[in-house]
Amino acid sequence: MAMDLGGGGKGPQPTINITPLVDVVLVLLIIFMVVTPLLTKHFSTRVPEAPEPSAQNADDGGDDAIVVRLDATGGVTLNSTQVALPALTAALGQVFHTRKERIVFFDADDDALFGDAVDVLDATRAGGAAAIAIATEPIATPM
């Protein structure tokens, strides 16, 4: 029942010659191996200059850091003074009134809710903070 298409199988059989393909792949591999070390990867960054010791706190209203803490219950503390969240913006405005630098360090308890942390950060920014630094190590509390 098989159908004979002719040819009888005595003619040349087509085969795939992969030698040129392998040659091209090896040449490309060699090119990439030579070019890759020549590509230099660099990361440019601006490093701040160290301030002079005499002028370090010259125009500062106070040399204490401004620290806003959030505890596990959602309570907010501004430099060891308990502050309600709605009053944080006004309290920071009073602190920044006498200071040149508007940098705030934010320290949150590990058990604090994420939403509370976002609310405190928003209030801190609304209070006039130019930069908010997240404290990654425990900050010593004043006694």
Which residues neighbour 135 within 8 Å (Cβ) at sequence distance 6 or greater? Answer: 67, 105, 106, 107
CATH no. for residue 105? Answer: 3.30.420.270
Phi (first) and psi of residue 23, to 5 degrees: -60, -45
> Could you tell me the residue range of the domain that residue 115 belongs to?
66-134
* Residue 138: predicted pLDDT: 64
* Residue 58: predicted pLDDT: 42
* Residue 20: predicted pLDDT: 92
* Residue 4: predicted pLDDT: 59
Position 15 in a domain: no
Position 5 in a domain: no
* Residue 57: predicted pLDDT: 45
Position 33 in a domain: no
Position 6 in a domain: no
CB-CB neighbours of 117 under 10 Å: 16
Phi (first) and psi of residue 91, to 5 degrees: -65, -40
Position 78 in a domain: yes
Position 14 in a domain: no
How many domains does the chain divide into? 1
Buried b (16+ CB within 10 A) or exposed e, 8-25: eeeeeeeeeeeeeeeeee
* Residue 7: predicted pLDDT: 59
* Residue 101: predicted pLDDT: 85
Where the chain has pLDDT below 50, the residues are 55-61
Position 86 in a domain: yes
* Residue 2: predicted pLDDT: 60
